[in-house]
C-alpha cells in the first residue's frame, strides 16, 4: 500500500491569459514555480456540512452563498478512501472535502448582485497522475472567459492553488475542467478525471 506524504510542493503553474478583441485573439502563456502566498477572504472548510447532504454527495443549497453544479462533498476519512484516494490527500481540515462529479463543473454566485473572486484552495487529483485542472472565470454572461489558468495535480501530493492576482477578476461563475492524466493504480477509489478540494478561500463584493 502506498503511503501518502502530506507535503506542499512548490507548484508549477501554467497560466493562460486570454484577451479577446473584435478582430483578433492574443494568447499569452507564462509559467512559474515560485511559492504562492495566501490572501484575504472567506474560507469554506466544508466541515459543517450535515450528514444528510454528505450521504447524497450533494452540496447544501446556497452553501457559502454559491451554487455548486456537479460538485459534491465526500467523507475523506472513510476507511475506503484514507491513504487510498486523492480525497484523503487533499484533506486540510476536518474530515470532508469536495470533488467534481463530472469532468467539467462550476460554482456561481447565488445572489445576482454579488460577484466573487476565487483566491485559493488545496487540491489533489483523485486517482490520476498529471491531471490537468483548468480554472476559468466568467461574468455577466460573456461569451469568453475573463481568465484561464491550468494546474497539474497529483493523487499523492496536496497542492496549494492560488490564482494569479494580476488576472484574477471578480466574476459570477468559475468553471473547473479536468483533462488528461494517467491512472495511478494503487488508488482504486474515485472516478476518472476527478479532483478534490478543501479550504476554498473566496472574496465577495457587491456589484
Distance (Å, whole) CA 197 – CA 89: 10
Q: Which three cell numbers stand for residue 75?
A: 467523507
Q: How would residue 82 be classed by pLDDT, with cut points 50, 70 and 90?
A: very high
Higher pLDDT, 61 or 1: 61
Distance (Å, whole) CA 99 – CA 122: 12
Distance (Å, whole) CA 85 – CA 207: 40
Q: What is the tens place of the pLDDT at every residue in 123-172?
A: 999 999 999 999 999 998 777 899 999 999 999 999 999 998 778 889 99
Q: Give the model's pLDDT for residue 165.
A: 77
**How many C-beta neighbours within 10 Å does residue 143 have?**
6
What is the set of domains in the chain, with CATH numbers? 13-21+40-206 (2.60.120)
Length of the chain: 207
- Report whether 19 contacts 26 (CB < 8 A): yes
pTM of the model: 0.79
Q: Give the model's pLDDT for residue 44.
A: 97
- CA-nearest of 202, 199, 203, 201 to 96 is 199
Q: How would residue 45 be classed by pLDDT, with cut points 50, 70 and 90?
A: very high
Q: Which three cell numbers stand for residue 99?
A: 470533488
Amino acid at each position: 500500500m502506498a503511503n501518502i506524504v502530506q507535503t506542499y510542493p512548490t507548484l508549477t503553474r501554467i497560466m493562460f491569459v486570454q484577451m479577446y478583441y473584435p478582430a483578433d485573439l492574443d494568447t499569452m502563456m507564462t509559467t512559474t514555480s515560485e511559492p504562492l502566498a495566501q490572501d484575504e477572504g472567506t474560507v469554506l472548510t466544508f466541515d459543517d456540512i450535515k450528514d444528510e447532504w454528505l450521504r447524497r454527495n450533494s452540496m447544501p443549497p446556497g452553501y457559502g452563498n454559491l451554487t455548486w453544479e456537479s460538485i459534491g462533498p465526500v467523507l475523506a476519512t472513510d476507511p475506503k478512501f484514507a491513504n487510498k484516494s486523492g480525497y484523503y490527500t487533499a484533506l486540510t481540515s476536518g474530515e470532508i472535502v469536495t470533488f467534481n462529479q463530472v469532468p467539467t463543473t462550476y460554482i456561481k454566485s447565488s445572489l445576482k448582485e454579488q460577484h466573487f473572486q476565487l483566491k485559493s484552495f488545496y487540491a489533489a487529483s483523485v486517482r490520476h497522475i498529471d491531471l490537468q485542472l483548468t480554472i476559468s472565470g466568467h461574468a455577466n454572461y460573456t461569451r469568453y472567459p475573463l481568465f484561464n489558468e491550468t494546474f497539474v495535480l497529483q493523487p499523492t501530493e496536496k497542492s496549494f492553488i492560488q490564482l494569479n492576482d494580476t488576472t484574477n477578476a471578480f466574476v459570477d461563475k468559475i468553471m473547473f475542467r479536468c483533462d488528461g492524466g494517467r491512472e495511478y493504480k494503487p488508488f482504486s477509489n474515485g472516478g476518472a478525471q476527478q479532483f478534490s478540494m478543501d479550504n476554498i478561500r473566496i472574496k465577495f463584493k457587491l456589484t
